[in-house]
Amino acid sequence: MKRRKQAAARKAFNVEMAGQRIDRLFALAEKACRDRPDLADRYVDIARRISMRHRVSIPGELKRHVCKQCGGYLAPGVNARVRIDGRNVLITCQRCGGIKRYPYKNITPGNNSAERHCGEQ
């Protein structure tokens, strides 16, 4: 029983660390995206690996910065075009042409269900 408790504590710690590292990597990617887009892509790649390994989802607002097709970092005004189409926000990756859509009507701060819903696209 003791061992099980330890394992649970370790997992909680890992999940916590994974979340922190993902946040940090996206912050670094944002800083790097203008001068070193290759580095920004690498940070996103690492963040995605961490999220998969620890089964932690990338928060919706960060996921919007990841191109689903090429896995690169999307920086609006740098390598991504943001347009509004009806009820959706379209983010076009200017490297691969991949388009990301999410509804903008449902997005209210603190409304996690809307965030999760649009993150699944």
- Positions touching Zn ion (CB under 5 A) are 67, 69-70, 93, 95-96, 98
Distance CA 54, CA 34 (A): 29
Q: Which is nearer to Zn ion, 48 or 95 (CB)?
A: 95
Min dist CB 66 to Zn ion, Å, is: 9
Min dist CB 98 to Zn ion, Å, is: 4
| HEC readout, 45-100 | HHHHHHHHHCCCCCCHHHHCCECCCCCCECCECCCEEEEEECCEEEEEECCCCCEE
Read off φ and ψ for residue 8, nearest 5 degrees.
-65, -40
Min dist CB 40 to Zn ion, Å, is: 12
Min dist CB 4 to Zn ion, Å, is: 43
Q: Which is nearer to Zn ion, 27 or 96 (CB)?
A: 96
Distance CA 42, CA 79 (A): 15
β-sheet bridge partners, residue 73? 66
Q: Which is nearer to Zn ion, 18 or 93 (CB)?
A: 93
Q: Which is nearer to Zn ion, 75 or 114 (CB)?
A: 75
